[in-house]
Amino acid sequence: MFLKNREFAEAYNDLYPVVFGAVYSKVGNPEDAQDICQELFVKLYEKLETIENRRKWLYGALRLEVMAYYRKKKPDGVDIDEVFADVGLTFVNGFRDARIVISGAIEHDENFEDERERALFDLVAVQNYSYEEAGMQLGMSKRQVRYRYGLIVERILAYLQKQGIKSLEDLL
Amino acid sequence: MNGSVSVFSRAMERFRFVEPVPPEVQRHIRRVKRREFLKILRRAGAYSTLFAIVSSVFFTLKKLGVSITIAKAAMLIGVSALLLFGGAASSVYYAVRALTAPDSEIRVQSEESGQSVASSQALVSNATAPTAAADPPELVERRFGVQGFTAANVDPATAARVSGMVASELAKLKGGERVIRGASKDRKAGMLVLGSVEELGGAYDVTARVVSVKDGRILFYSSETAGSAAELDGAAVRLSRKIAAGIR
């Protein structure tokens, strides 16, 4: 049990803030986000050995939990597509293609060395954490966060260049 | 690199990938993280006190920006526990030893000479070593342990000869059982005979004091004078008789 707990604790440390932030952005209430996260991580613990990509699994389970939350809280209905604005279905200022390419770069596994880098990216780039706060969540110094985040961005930009986007500035 | 990061951040905002989490919620996450972890373990039926302690150290150090694994946190706790246990055990051992050891130090000031006898600690310890076979306590209490006399302005061998003489004479007067010379691992003494031989202008001053091992009290003090080195033996004999008469 110690080995399983150990593995779970290390995964939890990196993924909890990311998942919490993602749930919070959907429900807008920290207490509810906390309850949903608890459900999600209990389920993750139970299936820990069988899940290959914990982040992806958590994001999938998160959608179901959030939908269940809305069914319970707002039985009169809510537009779930609005809650989970899907990149493939949404036009943003007419730059649909660019958005899809950037989304692909963000999801491309080779742009991240490990799951911790992925968590770091989600915290800083998506959830707007400062380097310092992200470091405190992940057990890294501010300098380490800044350095690793810079490397990730370089990799993503290189990937985008390969996809034909020579300069991001042209899109801004 | 900073330029790329800045452009990339603008692109993330422009294409609506950013879902900001307010700073107070970020802090809330940090605050509840460890507590929630333990709740999750409880609900999953995987909670144990030991792992709770290990994970507490793990999350606390992580929060401080320390890169640590659960295995390292467990090792850290193990080593700390060992050090604490070792420290506590040593303290108990030395405390018990100090409480049960026989009087190991005599620190008295001679009323007449003002001389400290604390320096005789080692000798006393040996003379009273708890290795004695089975001497009755009454005999031990009445036994003299004659230590080598100190020499002032005289040959140390002369001082040693005088203390030897005192020991022999005391043995004659009180019985061999009641006198030991120097330190003995096998026989304990309840009283120490300490003394000095000092040469002053051709004359010799021989002093002796009997000290209780139990409480460091001076039980008897006397001195004799010898006009020359040849008279030192006689002075030692006289001094011994005084001691024998003074201590029953």
Residue A44: CB atoms within 10 Å: 21
Contact call for A38 and B36, based on CB within 8 A: yes
pLDDT digits (tens, 9 = 90+) for A113-151: 998 999 999 999 999 999 999 999 999 999 999 999 999
B43 touches chain A (CB under 8 A): yes
Neighbour-count burial of B248, counting CB atoms closer than 10 A to its CB (0-12 exposed, 13-18 middle, 19+ buried): exposed
Contact call for B1 and A2, based on CB within 8 A: no
Per-residue pLDDT of chain B (248 residues; tens, 9 = 90+): 677 888 888 888 877 788 889 999 999 999 999 999 999 999 999 899 989 999 999 999 988 888 888 899 999 999 999 999 999 999 998 888 877 765 544 444 444 444 444 444 434 444 444 444 568 888 888 899 999 999 988 888 999 999 999 999 999 998 988 999 877 777 788 899 999 998 888 889 999 999 998 888 889 999 999 988 889 999 999 999 999 999 88
Strands (E), B122-217: 144-146, 150-152, 179-181, 191-200, 203-212
Residue with structure tokens 């950037």? A102
| Chain B CB contacts of A128 below 8 Å | 18, 20-21
Residue pair A127/A21 in contact (Cβ under 8 Å)? The answer is yes
Nearest chain A Cα distance for residue B82, angstroms: 20
B8 touches chain A (CB under 8 A): yes
According to DSSP, the β-strands at B191-200 and B150-152 are: parallel
Residue pair B79/B57 in contact (Cβ under 8 Å)? The answer is no
Residue pair A158/B9 in contact (Cβ under 8 Å)? The answer is no
According to DSSP, the β-strands at B218-226 and B203-212 are: antiparallel
Chain B residue whose CA is closest to A92: B15
